[in-house]
Structures are given as C-alpha cells and as structure tokens.
Structure 1
C-alpha cells in the first residue's frame, strides 16, 4: 500500500477528520432520479453518466448525502477516469422529508438493492461505502443471497462494524462534539417530518418530546431508530445491523480501510480475525487518516487515489 504521509497538522486525528468538512470544496454536476417505492415512499439517486460500461455506487455516512465532500470527490475522481457514478441519498437525506415514517438504518436496508436494479445494464459495478454507508455495504454483501452478477467488488471506508461499541464511543471525550453534531441533525429531521406530516411518528408510538430531550445517539436510537426498525431497543438494533457478524459470509473481493487513529472506531471495528478467516476480505489500517478523511492541502486526496488504484489492481487481476 502507498503510505499516507500527512503533514504535522493532519497527524492530529480530530483536525484531520474535521478539515475537509470545513475547507474542502468539490464541484460535481449530478442528474437526479427519484424512484417511487410505494405511493408514500421514495429514494433519490444522483447520477454522473458518461456512457461507460462500469460504475461505482456510492453510499454516504450518517446524516450525509450525495453532496458530502467525500462523495463528490469520489464522483469527480472516478468519472474523470472512465467510470460512471450513482450516488445514493438515504431517506430524509436529499433535502425533502419522506412521506413514509421511516428514515434509514445502519445495516443493509433496501437502498443498495434498489440502486443495483438501476445499474443492471452495466458490465461492472463496485460498491463503495463510507462510515455508516461502509457498514451498509459490508452488511449487504454478507447478508444478501442474490447479489447481481455484475457486482464485482466492495470497498468499505471507516466502517463501524460493531455498531454498539462505536455508538458508545461517541459519548466519550472529544467525540461528544461529533455526537452532538449528529444528534442535532437527527432531532431536526424528526421534528421536520412530524411538522410536515402531522402525527406520522406519534401514531406509531414515538414521543417527539422525549426525542427533543435525548442527550446521546444511543438514547436517540432507543427512542426512534430501533422502533422504526422493529427492534426492541438500541442494542437489539445494533446487533441486527452490525456487519461484523456477517463478514464471514462475504464472497466478493472487499477492501476494508480504517485508519488506526480514527476517533470514531472502537477496537471491535478493526475485524482482524474475520479478515484472517475469509480470503475475500482485505484490511488496510494506515497509521493516520482520521475518519474518512486522509486530508491534504492538495486538490485530490490520498483516499480517492488509493481506492481507485486498488479497484484497478483488482480489475487487472481478473
């Protein structure tokens, strides 16, 4: 692996993690497609199409979207190198509240399967996920029994493979800053949905008042996420949606990339034993990189370059 060698500034994991969110500007032009799943449910997908025979499907992280800096960076980098792009937006992540009471889950869900129906005409599909989206990719590859034949490879960047341990880590030390950032967005979306579609959540037993008082992501998952996912509580939800327990069943070449200094990853999120026991999995753990960052003052980051080169190496070995 070409080593990521950051400047002194980016050897601080929190600086590295936060820098691109505030300072990285990437421009990309998408074509939006809305897929109606039911009369009260939809998913929005964003395309970059140049008539190529191969495509990457990008899955964003918690409270991200196709507009997240890392999604746009990968869209630009790959589209400039003979790949088409399909970027997902989970429910409530495309700037419009979904009329369904549901949001999205950290596990397999239905977004990837829907995206793969849209990409059925491509010769090669590579799934690339980031953070929560990386867990979704791994969970899909481990659980799904009928994966389309044109899916050739998976890439998971900073996957919280053990959702329970990762969620608990959010409430410790400096990570409380990230937790409150995400919690504020999640609460706002619940309130917006209830305002636009009165009683849609109250009717299924979710207390908006309790949600507003939640002080941690685990508490939010107790009150909202687990209930919408049909789970008894947050811990039941974490167990059912953690990709860690399904990595052994993956039968596609899959890269897992997580920096050792990632502030949001517990030790359980580095699946060393699972990788040893599954020849399809490959784990890379750079010393630095923060959380889905690998920041730089250059236009292009180490992250998209490394993933692109890894995907190319796989193609050349076929």
Structure 2
C-alpha cells in the first residue's frame, strides 16, 4: 500500500465537496458516436466511441446509475484521445437513456457484459486495450481481470480502477451512517424509476413488484434483498455482497493494475482500504489523502489525479 497526498481546489475542503462538486459541475465534452450492440441473451448495450484511427483503446466503465457521459469517463477518454488512443465509454444495461429489454439489470457481480464489449472491441481490430473503471465500474473491471483470468484477452495491457467498494457490505454499512444517508437515498430514488418502469412492462414477474416501494426500501440492503439478489440468482442481499465483492479476486489478476482509493471517500468502509497478502506485486493499492468518491480533482489541473495516473500507466 502506498499513501499519496494530492491538492484539491481550495473550495473543495472536505470529502463530501470533493465528491459532490465534480459530479454536479465538472463538465468535459467528447465527440461521442453511439453504437448499439446486441448481447447473447437478447438484450443490448450502447457504446459511445471516440475514434482517431488508433489501434490502442481506453475502455471505461461507469459507476452505479452512471453512464458514459459522467465526468470521470469523459475525462479519461479526452486525455487518452489527446495521447493517441481511441476511447470507448460503454453503458451498462438500462443506463444509456433507454430501458433494457429484460427483467434483469446490471450489478457488481456480473462482468460478462463488459467482457463481451471488450471482445467486440478486439474483434474490430484493437491491438492494445487499457481498461478502467470507477466505483461499481471498478468492481466490474476487477472482476473482468480476476474472475476468469485465463479468459482475459492478451490485448489487455493493464488497468486503473478508483473508488472501488472492494468489500460491498462494508460500503453498504458506511452509507447507512449519519451524515451519509443522503447518498444512499439518492440512489434508491433513481433506482425506483427503473423498478417502476419494469414493473409495468413485466407485471407478473415475482421480483419486480413496485407497490409500497418507498415503505419497503429504506437502504441498499432492502433494495438488494428485494430486487438485486432474486433477479440475479443470489439467495439474499448478504449472499450477493459476499459473492459480488471484488476483493477476493485480486489474487488472480495477471496484468498491471492500480487501485486508487481516497482516504476521505464517504462511500467506502474500512475493509476497502487493505490489500490482501496473497495479491501479486503488480496489483498496487494507492491511498490518497483527499479526493472524495470519484472526484480526485487537483488544483490547477484540467484532468484528475486518477486520469493522469492511468495515462502514465498506459504509456509505460
């Protein structure tokens, strides 16, 4: 584990502001061109490309209820595009502005859609792919690398992930603490819109009942126990948290990977800040003193600490 000091803008004086300000006000535009691809189970995902004719690609995965337009995705893609890479920000099922076709969603424990997107990109001719992800996207990226390492294409050169809930249950508990519940409630409200829409399309489905949603769902454990677990084959919320956490998979990773966590991240429990002893040396854990959750803005810099470090990794 390595500890690093970073210097946020003066007005970003604590972890909450370092989280909220970039989410609301950091705007980085990139000239995306959208492509829709069908998945093997009949669903679809939307891919947003920045193409420069390169054989090198940065593939970025967004966080829970995010999408490819989030600042941390477009920041990475803009910086990499300026340095000779093509960029791909893909959108998880239901996150591109259009509901997905099936009752199921996306979640921390299933990286098969990401794997399919990666293999599709390589099929198009990319010879080198650097993968990155933030928050839940970091979980998916680590799962891609460590769940079935023998299936990872040789074209994957390395990875950078940040603000990752390596131990899901510890993060669920963290967001139930006083002073942090407003983050959790915001997610629950956003997810309610999708559950309500699915309940109308699949009225007979046993796990998509929206009735009394806000009376039943007070926290993530309620949501995951009611919807995530049964929709995706887990026995309970706790079973989901145990099996979907990326931390046990770190020992299997075979490519250079850096995990960046901010010490003042309001989303992460203490179990997300330690690196198991059995993890290879090329899987590094960096703890920054500041940065919040998927923030990491630095004074006087257009690009965040994580974006610049990812480019440094990809170029070396």
Which is bigger in relative contact order (C-alpha 8 A, separation at least 6)?
A: 2
Aligned counterpart, 2:314: 311
SS at match of 1:272: coil
1:173 and 1:248 map into 2 onto residues whose CA distance is 34
* Corresponding residue to 2:132 among 128, 131, 135: 128
Q: 2 CA distance for matches of 1:297 and 1:260?
A: 18
Residues 158 and 257 in structure 1, CA contact (< 8 A), matched pair in contact too: yes
Q: Which among 35, 55, 58 is matched to residue 60 of structure 2?
A: 58
The CA deviation at 1:210 is 4.6
CA contact (8 A) 1:211 1:223 kept: no
**Correspondence for 1:268 among 268, 271, 280:** 271
Q: Choose from 168, 171, 182 the match for 1:166.
A: 171
Structure 1: tracts of 5 or more residues without a match: none
Q: Comparing 293-302 with 70-79, which one deviates more in the overlay?
A: 293-302
Equivalence for 1:113: 115
**2-side partners of 1:229 and 1:65: how far apart?**
21
Residue 185 of structure 2 is aligned to residue 180 of structure 1: yes
Task: Give 1:273 deviation, angstroms.
Answer: 2.7
Q: Distance between the aligned counterparts of 2:220 and 2:68, measured in 1?
A: 23
2:143 to 134, 139, 144: 139
TM-score, scaled to structure 2: 0.92
**1:159-215 deviation digits (Å, cap 9, x = unpaired):** 1000111111111122101101111100111112233x241xx42333211534211
Equivalent-residue separation in structure 2 for 1:216 and 1:117 (angstroms)? 36
Following superposition, the deviation at residue 41 of structure 1 comes to 1.0
| Counterpart mapping for 1:1-318 below 5 A | 3-38=5-40, 40-120=42-122, 121-144=125-148, 145-195=150-200, 197-199=201-203, 202-213=204-215, 214-274=217-277, 277-296=279-298, 298=300, 299-312=302-315, 315=316
| Alignment RMSD (CA, Å) | 1.8
Q: Secondary structure at the match of 1:127?
A: strand
SS in 2 for 1:87: strand
Following superposition, the deviation at residue 242 of structure 1 comes to: 0.4
Deviations for 1:224-278, whole angstroms, at most 9, x for unmatched residues?
011111011111011111011111111111100001111111111113234x642
Provide the rounded CA distance (Å) in 2 between the counterparts of 1:38 and 1:210. 34
Normalized per residue, the structure richer in helix is 1
CA distance in 2, matches of 1:219, 1:2: 36
Where in structure 1 do 4 or more consecutive aligned residues deviate above 4 Å? none
Task: With the length of structure 1 as denominator, give the TM-score of the two structures.
Answer: 0.92
* CA 1:39–1:143: 2 relative to 1, 3 Å: closer
Distance across 1 between alignment mates of 2:304 and 2:244: 30
In structure 2, how many angstroms separate the alpha carbons of the residues matched to 1:188 and 1:303?
31
**8 Å CA contact 1:19, 1:295 repeated in 2:** no
